[in-house]
Amino acid sequence: MTAATAVKQPAVQTALSVDKVAMHFGGLVAISDMTFSVGEGEIVSLIGPNGAGKTTAFNVVTGFLTPTHGDVTYRGRSLRGMKPQAIADLGLIRTFQRTSVFPNDTVYDNVLIGLHRRGRVGVLPSVLGLPRVRRLETQLKQQAAELVDYVGLGRRADDLAGSLSYGEQRLVGVALALAAEPSMLLLDEPVSGMNASETHTFVQLIRKIRDRGITILLVEHDMPMVMSVSDRIVVLNYGRIIAEGTPEVIRNDPAVIEAYLGQGVKHA
């Protein structure tokens, strides 16, 4: 191969496609003509000032809102009109800004409960204690322990979830999301309220999750975190996309610097 011979990189297959989506609430335009995509195995961040439309976009993608115009497709299938649970069954699993753990159960039991929700064992087999139910229970217990270790909470497995720090509770939330076996994980402000050490740990976890082949779309205000972990960044302002590209491109985009005036993007 000569130096002049170009090496063609394989195209990234699109996982999620948001096509000309608009979301109106009466006379309020929360999102206007939003179009972007997320490739299989990518980490893409959706950023913007408060009120830019980020969480609304998440709600549209995950079926909590039906767009006024436009469509969202996942692996070629339209999600328009689908209920959140049906979208989750396709593998799009979302975490929320607020933690949603069972505070009076242990970390391990929290994850086991999440796995049981997925197990779908019938009532009669459970009552009869059939061998396949006992085998499934053993598998779920093993998976719960593995997930607790995976998110870095192995030493806290027997502690009540309510006794954990805010950052650790967010890790429990991620374990619960992973229990649903996502093919794409949507993280809504995952490091909000975390200290620097907790944020660093969470960034490492995001990379580990991507290494499992899980595509990630996240909304986040922590610009250093976003710049360090993202393959691409989509910037919203007043419901419109004003920039899209790699962290380096976004860091130096005049429109982004203006939208984030005083918020430190230039130095993120």
Q: Are residues 138 and 241 in the same domain?
A: no
Model confidence pLDDT, tens digit, residues 108-123: 999 998 887 665 544 4
Q: Is residue 92 part of a domain?
A: yes
pLDDT score of 114: 84
Model confidence pLDDT, tens digit, residues 2-28: 444 444 555 679 999 999 999 999 889
Task: Tell me the average pLDDT across 130-134.
Answer: 66
With residue 244 as reference, give the H or E element that holds it.
strand 240-245
Instruction: Order across the sheet with 215-219: list the strands.
Output: 92-94, 184-188, 215-219, 43-47, 232-237, 240-245
Angle at 259 between CA 256 and CA 260, to 5 degrees: 85
pLDDT score of 135: 79
Residue 126 has pLDDT above 80, yes or no: no
Q: Is residue 136 part of a domain?
A: yes
Q: Is residue 1 part of a domain?
A: no
Q: Are residues 121 and 138 in the same domain?
A: yes
| Residue 129: Cβ-neighbour burial (10 angstroms; 0-12, 13-18, 19+) | exposed
Q: Is residue 231 part of a domain?
A: yes
Domain boundary among 163, 194, 212: 163
The CATH number of whichever domain residue 88 belongs to comes to: 3.40.50.300
Q: Is residue 266 part of a domain?
A: no
Residue 1 has pLDDT above 50, yes or no: no
Of the candidates 256, 211, 215, the residue with the CA atom closest to the CA atom of residue 234: 256
Domain containing residue 141: 102-163
Q: What percent of the chain has pLDDT over 90?
A: 60
pLDDT score of 75: 96
Q: Out of 37-41, 116-120, 144-148, 235-239, pick the least confident.
A: 116-120
* Domain total of the chain: 2
**Residue 125 CB coordination number (10 Å):** 14
Q: Are residues 227 and 252 in the same domain?
A: yes
Q: Are 113 and 53 in contact (CB under 8 A)?
A: no
Q: Are residues 18 and 54 in the same domain?
A: yes
Q: Is residue 264 part of a domain?
A: no
Q: Are residues 143 and 187 in the same domain?
A: no
Residue 141 has pLDDT above 60, yes or no: yes
Q: Is residue 174 part of a domain?
A: no
In which band, very low, low, confident or very high, does the pLDDT at 257 lie, cut at 50, 70 and 90? Answer: confident
Q: Are residues 116 and 194 in the same domain?
A: no
Model confidence pLDDT, tens digit, residues 150-208: 999 999 999 999 999 888 998 999 999 999 899 999 999 888 888 888 899 999 999 99
Q: Are residues 65 and 196 in the same domain?
A: yes
Q: Is residue 238 part of a domain?
A: yes
Q: Are residues 111 and 65 in the same domain?
A: no
Q: Are residues 92 and 19 in the same domain?
A: yes
Q: Are residues 96 and 185 in the same domain?
A: yes
State the pairing for strand pair 92-94/184-188. parallel
Q: Are residues 94 and 207 in the same domain?
A: yes
Distance, CA of 91 to chain centre: 11
Residue 37 has pLDDT above 80, yes or no: yes
Q: Are residues 251 and 137 in the same domain?
A: no
Which residue did the predictor score with more confidence, 260 or 216? 216
Domain boundary among 110, 131, 163: 163
In which band, very low, low, confident or very high, does the pLDDT at 261 lie, cut at 50, 70 and 90? Answer: low
